[in-house]
Chain A
Amino acid sequence: MENTPECTADKQPVAASANNSAVPAKNAGHRPGELPGNKPSPTEQNLRPILEIKDITKEFEAFTAVNKVNLTLYEGEIFALLGSSGCGKSTLLRMLAGFETPTSGSILLDGEELIGVPPYKRPVNMMFQSYALFPYMTVKQNIAFGLKQEHLPKSQIEERVEKMLHLVHMEDYVDRKPFQLSGGQRQRVALARSLAKEPRVLLLDEPMGALDKKLREQMRLELVDIINSVGVTCLMVTHDQEEAMTMADRIAIMDRGQFVQIGGPREIYENPNCRFCAEFIGSVNLFDCTLISSNATQSLLRADDFTHLIELQHDIDLADGMPLTIALRPEKIYISHEKPEEETNWCHGVVENIAYLGDISIYYVRLKDGRIVTSTLPNVDRFKQGLPTWDDQVYLSWDAESCIALTI
């Protein structure tokens, strides 16, 4: 939705866009031909910043949960805070909701300071991990709960609840109590309840945390569709990278209370800016190297584990002889019986193990010095060709552009 021309200009308030499209539009937010996970950045889209987090810090007695974090959220985007447990992502979310008071820093929503405003007065709403539906209330009462606190006229509440029920396809379950619903249905009621008040920012705390794996995958895109159809700006917290990558427009990887990298799903996967990010997202082979030479078109590195050099086709801003790390994704390493003709970017080893995962197989190849390198292969290919099997001598090779040089 953000990409359509009429929306790039000053967007209407969320409330208005919610009225316009109650039915989720399929693939809202994406245009044909766009690479998945590669949306233009918010600034490229001329989106208006809605939430600004400045130098926010939260210290608990023994440790610092969030350490001088800065973040700007733009109108209509879905932003994911991704990190392992204890990295401070939930604390950050709770500070936005008003359940925690930051030690220092400021949070500006539409230019107005949020710190000091109690949770019940903030124009943000949260969907809780456990959904926190009131067990003694029906679906309808749950959704109407927030609206009643605004003392809206009854007819208006009814109308809004109807719309929300329609939005999440729960019209047939109006009078059920939460315990009579399935996990996915509860999630939709929780979403409807938090959207009913038409928040400026919707906060999602581990939105799929309470669902089983199958349902999780199914609900991801459905949730995105609903959120996009309303056009609400959304900040979600998750530890599940797949979830973040499917749902979010931008992702921030958090570690020990700080952002390590912020970017689109594709950027974060293809161009991690440090070892931590490379290892955190997906799986990766990391090699310690020394820079031999570097110029504008070519850099040569010696890896401790390889007999041959690694060649990159760009400049590395580092003095010769300095150490650095090369990251290689397993799916970008080719495995073959044939010895490559090139002088660089390959190594030699023995297939030690093969893990069959159904869709892909993971090859564990042991190099001469004992180092294990992983390489994945789609099983469509694996069984078609006479590919390497256990204890085969194999050559691993890769393209120069597949190498990611990491200096930290």
Chain B
Amino acid sequence: MSTGFSANMSFIRRAFQAKRRPTKLSKPHNRTWRDYALILVPYLWMILFFLLPFLIIFKISLSVSEIAIPPYSPLVTFEEGAMQIILHLENYTSIFTDEDGTYFRSYVKSLQVAGLSTLFCLIIGYPIAWALATCKPTARNVLFMLVIMPSWTSFVVRIYSWMTIMKRDGLINDILMGIGIIDSPIQMLQTDFAVYVGITYCYLPYMVLPLFSALMKVDYSLIEASYDLGCRPVKTFFNSLIPQTKSGIIAGSMLVFIPALGEYVIPELLGGKGSILIGRILWQEFFNNRDWPLASAVAIIMLIILVIPIVWFYKIERKEQEKLYAQK
């Protein structure tokens, strides 16, 4: 979970950073101690609360499980005056050579759940963001509240309410049976469906906000130009609106995809036995099996899975931004 959160930060920053013009930074010798002090605060924060824990996790992943406190073997030992550094790689190899493929399957499953939920958020979030961006300023505040307000309620409470809505004698089944569409209740809880509903619902605001900020910057004359040159509305949407809001789509997708990949609470509460996501594996290894080293290795691999697309997107976006600056 920690991996999801920390990677998350950079995207929050970039999503709300808008398109800042790169100002020529003053040369190092012009910087005063004040400048350094200012920069130091976020650096310290990142070092203390991201880099250090990450290194500790990485260290643990290179040890083996022991019945001790802490429950893993030390990395560095002194015996008869000799310093020994032992790097155990079996945690990583065991994940890849695992015979019943639990780890592999849960990685794939996590990617699938996170990916599809992101897609659902995008499909549902785009019209919402469009409405926000195009409505009257007075109505906008109200709509904004409606998007953000659910986040003010406790996360767990919101998930529990979905449980009461989707359970066997819950709201949905009651209504459907009352109308007479179904005879017996549908099993919704403990299915993948419930997990998709939960994740899409919870992460929707993180999709809507960057999309909204991208839609606010849309040049409507490009949409009119597309109409004017013979594109029907649907084609205009893909020809003109989508390319213009690409940065918002990428930022929003990242904000949803990354935390969704490491999600633990939602699949645990709403999902069934089939939804073994990587968050659940982590929990099991850490708390049930007390195998901290293996759990750390699982987390590190997940981080690597996440970092590759992030770096790739970041590079693409930076290239495009540079082009934009050149234009201005």
Contacts and interface: CB of A to CB of B under 8 A. Distances in A.
Interface of A: 97-99, 118-121, 125-126, 128-130, 132-136, 145-146, 149-150, 177-180, 193-194, 197
A150 B230 contact: yes
B243 A136 contact: yes
B229 interface: yes
Contacts of A197: 229-230
B230 A146 contact: yes
B219 A132 contact: yes
Contact of B225 (A98, A121, A132, A150): A132
Contacts of A119: 224, 227-228
Contact of B227 (A98, A134, A178, A179): A98
Contacts of A136: 243
Interface in B212-261: 219, 221-222, 224-232, 235-236, 239-240, 243
Nearest to A149: B230
B153 interface: no
Contacts of B31: none
Of A97, A129, A136, A177, which is in contact with the most chain B CB atoms at under 10 Å from its CB? A136
Of B224, B231, B324, which is in contact with the most chain A CB atoms at under 10 Å from its CB? B224
A197 to B, nearest CB: 7
Contacts of B24: none
B229 A125 contact: yes
Contact of A134 (B224, B225, B235, B324): B225
Given A136-B243, A179-B324, A149 B221 contact: no
A134 B240 contact: yes
24 contacts: A99-B227, A118-B232, A119-B224, A119-B227, A119-B228, A120-B228, A120-B231, A121-B230, A125-B228, A125-B229, A126-B224, A132-B221, A132-B224, A132-B225, A134-B243, A136-B243, A146-B228, A146-B230, A149-B231, A177-B323, A178-B327, A179-B323, A194-B228, A197-B229
B308 interface: no
Interface in B159-196: none
Contacts of B239: 134
A294 B50 CA distance: 95
B221 A179 contact: no
B326 interface: yes
Contacts of A99: 224, 227
B327 A179 contact: yes
Interface string B299-328: 000000000000000000000000110110
A153 to B, nearest CB: 16
Contacts, number: 65
Nearest to B246: A136
Contacts of B222: 132, 134
A149 B323 contact: no
A145 B240 CA distance: 11
Nearest to A193: B229
A130 B230 contact: no
Given A128-B225, A129-B221, A146-B228, 14 more contacts: A99-B227, A118-B227, A120-B227, A121-B230, A125-B228, A130-B219, A132-B224, A133-B225, A134-B222, A134-B225, A134-B240, A136-B243, A179-B323, A194-B228
Contacts of B228: 97-98, 119-120, 125-126, 146, 194
Contacts of B230: 120-121, 146, 149-150, 197
A132 B323 CA distance: 18
Contacts of B226: 145
Contacts of A146: 228-230
Of B227, B239, B243, which is in contact with the most chain A CB atoms at under 10 Å from its CB? B227
Nearest to B325: A179
B139 to A, nearest CB: 15
Contacts of A193: 229
A406 B243 CA distance: 55
Given A136-B243, A177-B323, A179-B327, A128 B221 contact: yes
Contacts of B323: 177, 179
B248 to A, nearest CB: 15
Contacts of B229: 120, 125, 145-146, 149, 193, 197
Contacts of B235: 149
A128 B327 contact: no
B326 to A, nearest CB: 6
